[in-house]
A and B are shown apart, each in its own frame.
Chain A
Amino acid sequence: MPVANGTLVGVSIAPELVAPDVIDRVLAEAVARGGEMAEVFCEDRTSRTAMFDDGRVEELASGQERGAGIRVILGETTGFAHTADLSEAGLLEAARAAAAVAKQGGGGTNVVGLEKRRAYSTNAVRLHDDVATSEKLELLAKANDAARSVGGSISQVQASYAEGRRRILVATTEGVNASDDQVRTRFNVICVATGDSGLQTGFESVARTEGFELFDAVNVDELGRIAATRALSKLQARPAPSGEVPVVLAGGSGGVLFHEACGHGLEADHIVKDSSVYCGQMGELVASPLVTLVDDGTVTGEWGAFSIDDEGRPAQRNVLIENGVLTDYMWDWLRARKEGRPSSGNGRRETYQHLPMVRMTNTFLLAGQEDPEEIVAQTPHGVYVAKLGGGQVNTATGDFVFGTTEAYLIEDGKITEPLRDANLIGNGPEVLRRIDAIADDFSMMPGTCGKDGQSVPVGCGQPTLRITGVTFGGTAA
C-alpha cells in the first residue's frame, strides 16, 4: 500500500469521532430501503489564523467544526445529507434523509463487513498546539518588518498565518474503512506600494501539508521582502502588451497554466458528461511531445497532498499526459464506477457538508533538459512571467485565462522592463501544442482551487518553459 504522506498506524482516530459499531448501524440504516452503496464521511477540523495588518496584530481567530456527511447511491442518483450531530441518533437521522432518494428502490443492500481500518497519522513533526502563540506572532512581526524595510514606498503590509488540522474517517458499504489526519500550515504577505502612478500590490505565500516545522525551511523575512519588491517594481511598470506574444513562464511562476489549460478538462466528471475538449482524446497527441503532466497526491508535504482522498482511497501518482499523448483522466468513485475502473484517488470535498467530486491534487509538468537562461536568451522578443496569479477555464470550450502578478518584457533575449498585471487568454489544446522549450529547473506553488462552489488546497508546478504565442491582455496597443 503506498504510504507517502502520513504513516499507517495501528491507532485510529475513530473512537474520538464515531464508534465502529455505530458506523455499522448507520451504514445499514442508509441502505435499508435500497441503494447500491452508502458512505459515512466524518470530519473534525480545527483552524487558527493570525493577522498582522497596518503595523499591529489585528486579529486572532480560531474555530472548530465537526460533523458527518452521508451519501446513498442508487443507480445514477446520489442522496446526501449532513449533520453536525455525531450522536448515533443524529447520524441515523442523516442516514434516513440521505436514503430518501432511494425510496423507489426495492430491498436492502447487504453491507460488506468493514475492512480492518487503515488509519494514517499526520506527517507533521511540530504540531501547532505544541507551539506557543507568541512564537507564531513573532513570525508575522518579522515578515512585516522585513517588507517595510524594502523601501519608503511600501505603504501597507498585511501578513497572515494560518494553521489547520483535519481528521477524517471514511467508511462504506463496500468495506472501505480508512482515516487520515491532515495538518496544513500557510503564511502570506501582501504589500501595497504607493507612487506617482498609484497603488500596486505584491503577494508572496508559502503553504504546505505539514506542521510548524515549515518555518525551519522557510524564512519569513524573505517572503516579506519578495512581496514588497514585487509591489515596488510595479510602480515603474509599463502597461502590459496587447495581442499575441511569445511568453516564457519562469520555473517559480507556478503551474496554474496547466491547472487551467488541461487539468480541469481532464477531470472525469466533465468527461462522462461530454463537457470537456479532451473527451475522446485518449491515446491522442494533445500537447507538444515535450509535455509530460502528472497529478500526484503522494508528494509529501505539498499543499495538495494527503494519505487518503475524501472517499477513503489512497493518494496516488497519475500520469495524465506522457510525451504529449493523453494517457488518463482523473477519477473519483462515482465516475470510475460508470467506466468499470478504479478511482484514481481524486475524490475530494471541501468539508463534510459537501459531496465529493473529481479534483486535482498536485498537478505538475515534468522538467525538460534546457537551460532556463538559454530559453530567455533565445527569445528575441516576448514577455517573461516571473509569477502567476489565479486563473479560470471553460472546460467545454477549452478557453482559459490566467493572471500575471510579476512580469517583464523580453527584448533581444534579455529581461528588461517590468509590466503591470494582466490576464492572458488561450485555448488549452492550442497552447499545449505551442510549448517549444522546457527547462531543467522546477518549482511548485500552492493554490486554492474552486469548483462548483467548493474550495480545496492544490499544488501546481512547472519548470521554465516557452509558449510560442499566447494572447496577452494588457492595455498597451
Chain B
Amino acid sequence: MSELLELATRVIEQANGKEGIEAFVARGTDTELRIYDGAIESLSTATSAGIGVRVLIEGNEGAQVGFAWSGSLDHEAVDRALREARENAHFASPDPYVALAQLDGVAPSDLALTSATFDELTLDDKIAMTTELEAMTRGGDPRIRQVDSADFGDGIVESAIASTTGIRVSSQRSNAFLSVSALAGDGDETQTGSGFSVGRSAGELDLREASSQAIERSVRMLGAAKVPSMKTTVVFDPRVTSTILSVLGGALSGEAVVKGRSFFEGRLGERVANQDVTLVDDPTNPLAYGAAIFDGEGLACRRNVLINQGILEAFVYDTVAARRAGTSSTGSATRGGYGGTPGAGCRAIVLSPGEQGAEEILGGIERGLYVQSITGVHSGVSPVSGDFSVGAEGLMIRNGAFAEPVREVTVASTMQAMLLNLTAIGNDLTWLPGAACGQTLAIADFQLSGS
C-alpha cells in the first residue's frame, strides 16, 4: 500500500457508527523554469501536499455532508481536517441523495501515466533545452522581435482515496510541458503567437514543434486588421476546438443538468447535433492529456458516449448527481485538488474524426474566417444558456486558401446552433492540455462582428 493510501486509510478508520468518511490525499513535486534573453529568469522547485476529508452523517431524512482540507500532511493538520469536516457536516441540510461512492465492479484500465524515463534528463538538460527553445524562436524568423518567455515545467503527482464504503485506490502521474510566446513586429505593429509541447516526461517534448508554432502563428498575423461584419462560415484551429469542446463538456455534466443549469436539460434522446457528431469522453485513452485510471471518488474511469450520431445519449455523473438523477455514477467525478469536493465533469472529450484533413476542409470553403485563437471564453460563452460570443483572430479564407490576417473581431452563435451547423470535422486529432482533444472544425452561420 502506498504511503498516501496508508494515511488516507488511517483517517477513514476513525469513523464512528453513523459516519461515512472519505479521505483524498495528494502530493506533488514540481520544477518550473523560465528563460528570458538567454538566461534563467526564474527557477522554482517544490513539493506540496494536502488532504481533503468528507464526512457524512446518516440520518432518517438523508445524509449531511461536511468537507475540510489542509495544505499539509502533518498529524496536526490531518486531525484538524477530520475534526472540521465533522463539525461542518452538522450544519448541512440532510439530503437523501448524498452518499459516498460505492464500488461498482468496473475494472480500472491499465494505463501507464508516469513516464518510465521521467528522471532521465537532468535539471541542466532541461535548462539547456528551454534556452534552446528561446533562441530557436528568437532566431527563427527575422520578423520575431521579442520572445516574452520560454517556459518549462514538469512534475509528478501522487494521489490516494480511501472511504468507509470500501474505496482504496492510489495512482501516480507525471507530466511535462514546454511553451513559448513570441512577438512578431513590423514597424509599430506587434502580433503575438504561442507554441507548446506536452508529454509525460521532458524527453518526450518537441521544442522544434513548439518554436515553429509560435513563429508561424505570430508572423502570419502581421498586417492583421478588422474586417466588416458579416455572416460567415468559421473554421476553428484544433486548439480553439479543444477549448470549445471543454466548455461543451460543462453542459454535459450531469450535475449541471440535474440542477437545471445546462441547455441540454430534458433533451436526452433528442437530436442535438448533426449526424456526423459522435462525442465521447474517454479518460481510458492513454493519449489523452486528461487520461486517468480513477475518478475523483476512486471509481474506475470509463468510456462514456455522450452524443451518438447527433443524438444526445448520456451525461457524465459523479455519485451524488447520479443519485439525484436516478442513475449511477459514470466514473466521472472530478475534483480541483485536495481543496475541492467532487463534482461531475469530462476529462478527455473526443469528437469522432471525419474524413478530411485541415487542408481539404479549407480547400472546400469559398469564403470564411479561420480562427487561430479566441479570447473572452469565460465572459462570453455560457454552458447554461448556450450563448456564444468570443474575441477572435486568424486569417480570412478566400477560394479555399488563407488570405489576409484578421484581428479585433468577434464571432457569435449559440452552442445549440453550432452543433447543428457543423459542416466539416477534421481527421487531424490533436491531444492538447485540457479536457478535450482538438481538430479542425468548420461551422456555418456565425455572425462575425467587425467594422
A residues neighboring B (CB under 8 Å):
50, 53-54, 56-67, 75-85, 94, 97-98, 100-101, 133-134, 137, 155-156, 192, 194, 198-201, 234, 240, 242-244, 273-275, 277, 353, 355, 389-394, 396-397, 399-403, 420-427, 471-477
- Cβ B45 vs Cβ A403 within 8 A: no
Does residue B309 face the partner (Cβ distance < 8 Å to A)?
A: no
- Cβ B93 vs Cβ A275 within 8 A: no
Q: Hey, which chain A residues are within 8 Å of B339, CB to CB?
A: 63
Does residue B190 face the partner (Cβ distance < 8 Å to A)?
A: yes
Once bound together, how far apart are the Cα atoms of A81 and B47, in whole Å? 9
Once bound together, how far apart are the Cα atoms of A198 and B264, in whole Å? 10
Using an 8 Å CB-CB cutoff, how does the interface string of B367-390 with A read, 1 for contact, 0 for none?
000000001101110101111011
Q: Hey, which chain A residues are within 8 Å of B16, CB to CB?
A: none
Q: 9 tightest CB-CB pairs across the interface, nearest first?
A: A473-B410, A403-B379, A65-B71, A401-B376, A56-B93, A423-B380, A80-B44, A60-B88, A401-B391
Q: Hey, which chain B residues are within 8 Å of A65, CB to CB?
A: 50, 70-72
Chain A binding site: helix, strand, loop or mixed by DSSP? Answer: strand
- Cβ B48 vs Cβ A82 within 8 A: yes
B389 contacts which of A98, A243, A473 (Cβ < 8 Å)? A473
Give 13 A-B pairs besides A54-B259, A353-B48 with Cβ atoms closer than 8 angstroms.
A59-B341, A63-B68, A63-B70, A78-B41, A84-B71, A84-B72, A199-B262, A273-B149, A421-B385, A423-B390, A425-B410, A471-B226, A475-B412
B214 nearest CB across to chain A (Å): 13
Q: Hey, which chain A residues are within 8 Å of B81, CB to CB?
A: 63
Q: Which of B162-170, B297-305, B424-432, B443-451 contacts A (4 or more CB under 8 A)?
A: B443-451
- Cβ B380 vs Cβ A403 within 8 A: yes
Using an 8 Å CB-CB cutoff, how does the interface string of B405-420 with A read, 1 for contact, 0 for none?
0011111111000000
Does residue B205 face the partner (Cβ distance < 8 Å to A)?
A: no
Does residue B260 face the partner (Cβ distance < 8 Å to A)?
A: yes
- Cβ B375 vs Cβ A422 within 8 A: no
- Cβ B65 vs Cβ A396 within 8 A: no
Q: Hey, which chain A residues are within 8 Å of B390, CB to CB?
A: 401, 423, 473
Once bound together, how far apart are the Cα atoms of A396 and B375, in whole Å? 14
A70 nearest CB across to chain B (Å): 10
Q: Hey, which chain B residues are within 8 Å of A67, CB to CB?
A: 48, 71-72
B426 nearest CB across to chain A (Å): 25
Does residue B177 face the partner (Cβ distance < 8 Å to A)?
A: no
Does residue B121 face the partner (Cβ distance < 8 Å to A)?
A: no
- Cβ A396 vs Cβ B67 within 8 A: no
- Cβ A53 vs Cβ B259 within 8 A: yes
Query: Could you list 27 examples of A-B contacts with CB < 8 Å?
Result: A59-B66, A59-B341, A62-B67, A63-B68, A76-B37, A76-B39, A77-B39, A78-B43, A83-B47, A199-B262, A201-B261, A242-B448, A273-B36, A273-B146, A355-B42, A391-B376, A392-B391, A393-B375, A394-B192, A396-B190, A397-B191, A399-B407, A425-B376, A425-B410, A427-B408, A475-B414, A477-B447
Q: Hey, which chain B residues are within 8 Å of A62, CB to CB?
A: 67-69, 84, 88
- Cβ B88 vs Cβ A425 within 8 A: no
- Cβ B410 vs Cβ A422 within 8 A: yes
- Cβ B376 vs Cβ A423 within 8 A: yes
Q: Hey, which chain A residues are within 8 Å of B192, CB to CB?
A: 394, 396-397
Once bound together, how far apart are the Cα atoms of A234 and B39, in whole Å? 52
Does residue B183 face the partner (Cβ distance < 8 Å to A)?
A: yes
Identify which of B68, B263, B379, B447 gathers the most chain A CB atoms within 10 Å of its CB.
Answer: B379
- Cβ A199 vs Cβ B261 within 8 A: yes
Does residue B46 face the partner (Cβ distance < 8 Å to A)?
A: yes
- Cβ A194 vs Cβ B260 within 8 A: yes
B387 contacts which of A133, A275, A400, A422 (Cβ < 8 Å)? A422
- Cβ B408 vs Cβ A399 within 8 A: yes
B80 contacts which of A53, A64, A401 (Cβ < 8 Å)? A64
- Cβ B380 vs Cβ A242 within 8 A: no
Using an 8 Å CB-CB cutoff, how does the interface string of B70-98 with A read, 1 for contact, 0 for none?
11100001001100100011011101000
Q: Hey, which chain A residues are within 8 Å of B393, CB to CB?
A: 399
Instruction: Given the known inter-chain contacts A57-B91, A61-B88, A390-B378, please indicate yes or no for A192 contacting B67, CB distance below 8 A.
Output: no
Q: Hey, which chain B residues are within 8 Å of A355, CB to CB?
A: 42, 44
Once bound together, how far apart are the Cα atoms of A89 and B384, in whole Å? 50
B42 contacts which of A80, A392, A393, A399 (Cβ < 8 Å)? A80
Once bound together, how far apart are the Cα atoms of A107 and B183, in whole Å? 38
Q: Hey, which chain B residues are within 8 Å of A391, CB to CB?
A: 376, 379
B356 nearest CB across to chain A (Å): 27
Does residue B49 face the partner (Cβ distance < 8 Å to A)?
A: yes
A101 contacts which of B43, B69, B148 (Cβ < 8 Å)? B43
- Cβ A64 vs Cβ B77 within 8 A: yes
CB nearest to A402 among chain B residues = B379
Q: Hey, which chain B residues are within 8 Å of A402, CB to CB?
A: 376, 379
- Cβ A58 vs Cβ B380 within 8 A: no
B399 nearest CB across to chain A (Å): 24
- Cβ B389 vs Cβ A397 within 8 A: no
Does residue B10 face the partner (Cβ distance < 8 Å to A)?
A: no
A471 contacts which of B190, B386, B450 (Cβ < 8 Å)? B450
- Cβ A201 vs Cβ B382 within 8 A: yes
Using an 8 Å CB-CB cutoff, how does the interface string of B177-190 with A read, 1 for contact, 0 for none?
00000010000001
Once bound together, how far apart are the Cα atoms of A155 and B72, in whole Å? 40
- Cβ A201 vs Cβ B48 within 8 A: no
Once bound together, how far apart are the Cα atoms of A325 and B145, in whole Å? 27
Q: Hey, which chain A residues are within 8 Å of B231, CB to CB?
A: 477
Once bound together, how far apart are the Cα atoms of A76 and B390, in whole Å? 37
Does residue B287 face the partner (Cβ distance < 8 Å to A)?
A: no
B339 nearest CB across to chain A (Å): 6
CB nearest to B33 among chain A residues = A101
- Cβ A81 vs Cβ B44 within 8 A: yes
Once bound together, how far apart are the Cα atoms of A78 and B43, in whole Å? 6
Q: Hey, which chain A residues are within 8 Å of B376, CB to CB?
A: 390-392, 401-403, 423, 425
Identify which of B46, B68, B376 gathers the most chain A CB atoms within 10 Å of its CB.
Answer: B376
- Cβ A60 vs Cβ B449 within 8 A: no
Q: Hey, which chain A residues are within 8 Å of B84, CB to CB?
A: 62
B229 contacts which of A59, A243, A424 (Cβ < 8 Å)? A243
CB nearest to B228 among chain A residues = A243
Once bound together, how far apart are the Cα atoms of A427 and B37, in whole Å? 28
Once bound together, how far apart are the Cα atoms of A277 and B384, in whole Å? 36
Q: Hey, which chain B residues are within 8 Å of A476, CB to CB?
A: 447
Q: Hey, which chain A residues are within 8 Å of B91, CB to CB?
A: 50, 57, 60, 133-134, 137
B45 contacts which of A58, A81, A426 (Cβ < 8 Å)? A81
Instruction: Given the known inter-chain contacts A77-B42, A353-B48, A477-B231, please indicate yes or no for A274 contacting B93, CB distance below 8 A.
Output: no
